[in-house]
Structure 1
């Protein structure tokens, strides 16, 4: 029974040879079904070494066309049934190449190859191995994977947030692995320390095992200064100079750990909480007294967070109103200055008052820092500069008494204690104060200083020398020509309007930017636990000042404890939040 097929479309020779092999398998299935012969041994012959290579490989390695036909062949036959036949002995070639009648009669078309009539089949030459280079193979991308040694367990410890949890986890792991009950905590700690040391100090440990000294030129972790050695458990410990002391061996020779290890961070956190957040020195002492020496420990112990911060507030409205000078003021007492009166050497102080909008400065002398001296200076200021003074701002000086300002009919606002940054308007003038004429002649802006053709720089004296108690200007338009008129009031009014016009353009717009504290932060809340450093106040929706409850009771005159809360007011820049309230 012979079959010959015509190729349905143009394709490659190996594909046609593979299709012929599929025809052979289908013919074999048909014959076994019709003949019903038991224990029939079948063999398949092909003169294509490529097809034998396909059959002896996995179908998944090839493209769909070849893979489907390989699966069909392997479904009905085994690879050992396939043999190689040379083209000269293959009678199937006669159908594709064509023969004359004489050549057909003398050929092996009717009888098959001669080796089939022999008592034994020829030995299989094992043609068809693993195919490496073939256009039918799929292109497979092989990704290089680097396996990390010893790092798997140590890196898994990063998911723990506390030292005690790490120790418990390692203890459970060792208990399971060794099937030991009652494993001590110390053994688990030593196992963790050993893993960290092998990861960070492997070269130093190998040098010590080979009884070599650690070179003093190795400045990476400065172990040469510690004179390290390996104990009986293989732990790297400090040799030091306390060998003859009566301390515990682990305290005399603490285990060495690197500062950049996650385990070191957990240890620092654990012992920092044990000493109740008492600072770097106490934490370092607690670490070393428990048998741990972290290289560069002082830099590693940084658990006292920075003080609170809030975005810089908007400027108050009184800094942006076109009001007469010193309508809204900030004041500050400075000194002392030593003077001589006869043979006596006396102290004198200064009272600095600055206008919140024009930044003009007025200075009065104080005999002392008493309230009486301040009232006299304030009266002299109002007499010289005139009124009205609507608002006064200051720090919480003891000589500034709020009831005093009610007599002058002005509002009095005090900053929180230790919040000197809130009085920058007047605090900054202490550096430059000499005489009022010099200070009030300072330019408010620098844009026109280097321009000879530009207008004269804007200074506080421009408004001080033309002050009027009338807040609103008189009706009418005032132009530059008014400077040459005999009517002085029109000249003065034009200069006043010119000042405020340039004040808006040249100075006020320069206050737009926030010099620091650019981001909004979490607001401090009631029940927050903080470390006191200083105070802040809420303004524009943000908490900037807090009132701290120091105690809720006190002793009265009879020695009995009574309820009397004690509070302390500070800005948020002087507190550190330890635990945030929900």
Structure 2
């Protein structure tokens, strides 16, 4: 129509109208065809292959992504040939020029995916020789300028994105861009739809598996340049290579920080606004799962076939929106926990990243043995978690140094009656001092002591920092303890002179009016154990050893001031009171484990809080809803008491005897 000089208001000829009606009928049937919208797995290594072709009427390109041995169509574009006649090799070169013009926009919209190799395939040997030799014997100024532009854009892409670009020859029968330039009917297009979606079969092996053909139009130097070097192959199984070496790091925080710096560098180079730490954590988890669970990952990506992995069935695994394998629990309707806790990420048992995560949890718990519960609180699930934790903690040099026993412990005697009947926390409390600690006051080191209050029923601890072991300091600490936790029924201590003196002084002071108002109604008793019977005080003595080990491992030889000591003591007290009192099985997916803090701070326990969903509308709670919430809290507290009698008391009464402390 343009060549015939027709205007916009002119009526088309019957022949042109017939062609238009036929084309409209063909285009209306394209709605029956389906293409996958998700073609890229973010951060998964892969290659990009571009096929170019041209005819006298049109030239175009087709872009394919190859990841993990799979190829899929990503982008396609065609343009009408110029009005001025061009030779077919020049039009083929214009198709290559079109491909490089579109590449920056394609790479900037690939969700952070940057291919390591870029392959441009054409079926014209003359154009391939121009691209490989970077010279042209023709005097065609238009073709020379297009070749110069292509080479310039190739250099810019390699510099900006870190790509390696290869020019390859492809047969016309294996070139999917040939479907663009020839013009085909709907019936023929539908018959070759699979070829259009996934491209030729040679894409499955990556660029290193492209066949080396005999091309007589290319010189020997160009043929050598067209061959793919052996060290440029990236056709590897996904997850076999990482941007960082996991074995070179000793802490998970250091590994995460270095990986986030890599993503920050990419964000600066690509002019993107990324949450680098979140992307780094997702990348580490995805890489670990690709290396540790290849069969499960392959099945979840293609959920078909007769073979269902046992781990997928037992743990109810699925892929989230980030491509991470998660274990779907049965508490999704609960508002007490976040999504990460209810659906933890699956981590490999014997992977370097898992070792770093477990060691990070171990240090966060002050080197206590509550790693499995801490892993679940952080949103991780380790198959055979208890064995994995024990295997990794056996390498902790700090625990080896302080947990070595000179001889096996002796058998324990029966528990006293007041230890086996539980009513309220700190109803029966054991007290004792630790050795002195050196605290820096700005000028010199001064001595400080720790006074430990231990609940004999739930093994909860309360720590007070006192300047000395005098009677007055002890009584002041006792008053602070009773102000926070209530007055106990009885205090138990050993035969130290401080407690003997404190007991006599306390008996005299209870006769005063102030002490009668405070402690008279409670009738608190101070009891001492029998002489040379330290085995009776094994409960609080063992807690003192636990706290001292935590101090040695956390503080080491560092000099602390008074407020730093208070902060560390507060962290240790929280960690000790967060230890599970019952055994957690590796196959048990119930994230609830009773701890001393569940009895001490029921309002701070996530399982006893009434939390609204973020998407739920904010509606004021009425009196009936508040009463129902309080009743639910009381039921949970009663359940904790039942668990204490059924699991914890029976457990320590038959052989384990406080080995968890």
Q: TM-score, normalised by structure 2?
A: 0.27
**More helix as a share of residues:** 2
| Structure index of larger Rg | 1
Q: TM-score, normalised by structure 1?
A: 0.31
